[in-house]
A and B are shown apart, each in its own frame.
Chain A
Amino acid sequence: ETGVTQTPRHLVMGMTNKKSLKCEQHLGHNAMYWYKQSAKKPLELMFVYNFKEQTENNSVPSRFSPECPNSSHLFLHLHTLQPEDSALYLCASSQRLERGGGTQYFGPGTRLTVL
């Protein structure tokens, strides 16, 4: 148990649906991340938040919309997704972005399937 939880663990949605992924960290960290992990590909960093402020958006399509209401919670709102968006979405947190960024602790991920 890493102290980072994600819900739901599995999600199947149609291309016209709207859904949200939730991440919560109980580690007192200040930085949170969304990653996409597709089969046979490296982890792709999507968004970075530091003290609730978005510091990085790696050219992610607007059909993915992150939200970070506080340092403990991170959401990823999904709408009008494509089948190629099917992947494992991982949330991670670290103590801070400064001073080397620190170790990232990953949640269990949400396995998303877009039909």
Chain B
Amino acid sequence: GQQVMQIPQYQHVQEGEDFTTYCNSSTTLSNIQWYKQRPGGHPVFLIQLVKSGEVKKQKRLTFQFGEAKKNSSLHITATQTTDVGTYFCAGRRNQGGKLIFGQGTELSVKP
């Protein structure tokens, strides 16, 4: 079945360092979404990417969708303690299809 893999599983950074999490699918995706879950909280939608090669930015966060629409990345520039949490990618193989979540990357930031 369709799988969405995320790496790394954990990332510990010093405040101010950059952070990147990668998401890879075994099949071509129709679209990919990113969510953030703070410790003790619930997933919160960040962004959706639809087009091949798409790049979107939200302040210090940069999201990319690969040309083949099988991988995606989230990059955070100059991390802050407020960035702490688990970042999930979730992809759909086709329009309206099941949203498959990656296992998430847990980010911790040392002040």
B30 interface contact, C-beta 8 A: yes
- Name the contact of A106 in the complex, choosing from B42, B48, B50, B92 (C-beta under 8 A): B42
B42 touches A109 (CB 8 A): yes
- State A98–B95 Cα separation when bound (angstroms): 7
Q: Indicate whether A42 sits within 8 Å of B96 (C-beta atoms), given known contacts A90-B43, A107-B42.
A: no
Chain B interface size band reads 20 to 34
Q: Indicate whether A100 sits within 8 Å of B45 (C-beta atoms), given known contacts A42-B103, A42-B104, A43-B101.
A: no
A20 interface contact, C-beta 8 A: no
Could you tell me which B residues sit within 8 Å of A by CB distance? 4, 30-31, 33, 35, 41-45, 48, 50, 88, 90, 92, 95-104
Could you tell me which A residues sit within 8 Å of B by CB distance? 2, 40-43, 45, 48, 56, 90, 92, 97-101, 103-109
